[in-house]
Amino acid sequence: MKDWEMVFLGQVYSTTMEQTLAALKHFGLVDKKNVLDAGAGYGSITIALARVNDNVVGIERDPERVEIANFLIKKSDQTKWKSHAPTVITMEIEKMGYGLRKDGIMCHGVVMYTKDWKETLRTLSRLLAKKGTMYIDIYLPKYIDWNERSGAKATLIKAPEFEKEIEKNKLKIVRTSMTRGDRVKEYIVEKI
Ligand SMILES: C[S@@+](CC[C@H](N)C(=O)[O-])C[C@H]1O[C@@H](n2cnc3c(N)ncnc32)[C@H](O)[C@@H]1O
């Protein structure tokens, strides 16, 4: 594992389970039947999602991250799942078919890294059931700069353009907030 990967792994697991669960509650991503963690990374949010929702699946394009995520899922407290353990599979968001619609989607720190963010948003909207809730965020310029130093190439998505695209995809913005010292904009959206 490269040095930066170790830093990233440490970073995502430095948020406590209690903090993540409180955030999920705040975002309305609890007590859902079918939840997708889109771009699950090392699965830290996937694990938290499965404590408070029924069927949780993570998808992640990097097979090494998928392997570690599933290892960490196995190692985590098996008595804490709301229904059963989640799984993370190797898959690109845009390649998801027309399977079961989700009533919750978490897409944390992902859309800027996909090949075509508009296509990603279209796919996520298609996967979300009517009245379903999705969390999605975008990095503002200062966070993109910081990120590029790690070698990860992220696209700068301008907030007004992103918001227009959200509306085009039959999604309604329920709430927005700023995080990471005002460098990341978060959206809670609902499928109309
Ligand atoms: C910054 S990480 C965030 C991981 C996780 N959501 C979290 O918050 O801990 C972004 C992840 O999105 C994944 N990713 C990027 N584009 C993707 C795509 N098109 N389909 C699936 N995963 C993707 C990357 O491989 C990476 O693991």
| 62 CB within 6 A, ligand 1 | yes
- What percentage of the chain has pLDDT greater than the value 70? 95
Q: What average pLDDT score do residues 127-133 get? A: 97
* In the chain, domain spans: 3-191
Q: Helices 44-52 and 17-27: crossing angle, nearest 10°?
A: 60
User: Which DSSP letter does residue 76 get?
Assistant: S
Centroid of ligand 1 to alpha carbon of 188 (angstroms): 18
Residues across the chain = 192
Q: Convert the pLDDT of each residue in 83-129 to its tens digit.
A: 999 999 999 999 998 778 999 999 999 999 999 999 999 999 999 99
- Which residue's CA lies nearest to atom 18 of ligand 1? 92
Q: What's the CATH superfamily of 3-191? A: Vaccinia Virus protein VP39 (3.40.50.150)
Q: 12: Cβ below 6 Å to ligand 1?
A: yes
